[in-house]
Amino acid sequence: MKTLNLDQNKRYSYADYLTWMDDVRRELFDGFIKLMTPAPSRQHQKISAKLMKIWGVYLENRQCEVYHAPSDVRFPKDKTNKEDKQVFTVLQPDVYVICDLTKMDDRGCLGAPDLVIEIISPKNPHRDTKDKFEIYQQHGVREYWIVGPNDETVTVFVLDENGKFQFKGLYAGNDKIPVNIFNGDLKVDLTEVFMQ
């Protein structure tokens, strides 16, 4: 399939994004295109699959659901106007958990998930640790995990009552991460996430 020649300096909406029929993976950061790597590494995929399995087992027969990339999460700037042409930020988190299922439709999630997990790409760590961090914070994601595949760590941030992410902990080795959105009822064992 032919790659589209899109203007990287132009601001696009989700309505535009829906018309791009090629094999290139993109996200929109306030309307500006950010290209994604064509395919994640094998290590990235293994970690993502293990996290999906852990979440899938825990969430069975519960009101929340878990999804993984590629799945569009649309962040409307104005909560009252959610039309495609008014949405300018579209991300594809590696893994996300959503408990308000009214935000889900056949195209993904419209609004903030409850928990987002990003697995750092060695080619662009800044995107997960700064750019996406700010977007998730601004739009009210309740809990954000940043997974470092090379050093086998998970950094956890939780949204406070003022809408700011607070550092909750850096986990490694045989730590068990208490999931804050479930008041610690689920503890994710890192030996299951990073085992070879």
Q: Which two tokens stand for residue 151?
A: 């050093």
**pTM beyond cutoff 0.85:** yes
Under 8 Å between Cβ of 94 and 118: yes
Q: For the chain, which domains are there?
A: 40-65+92-194 (3.90.1570.10)
Between the alpha carbon of residue 193 and those of residues 14, 33, 118, 173, the distances in Å are: 33, 31, 14, 10
Give me the half-sphere count of Cα atoms (radius 13 Å) on the Cβ side of residue 98: 21
What's the whole-number mean pLDDT along residues 156-181? 97
Decide: 179 and 156 in contact? Cβ < 8 Å. no
Whether residue 124 has pLDDT greater than 90: no
155-166 pLDDT tens trace: 999 999 999 999
Rounded Cα distance between 79 and 99, Å, is 18
pLDDT higher than 80, residue 1: no
| pLDDT score recorded for residue 189 | 96
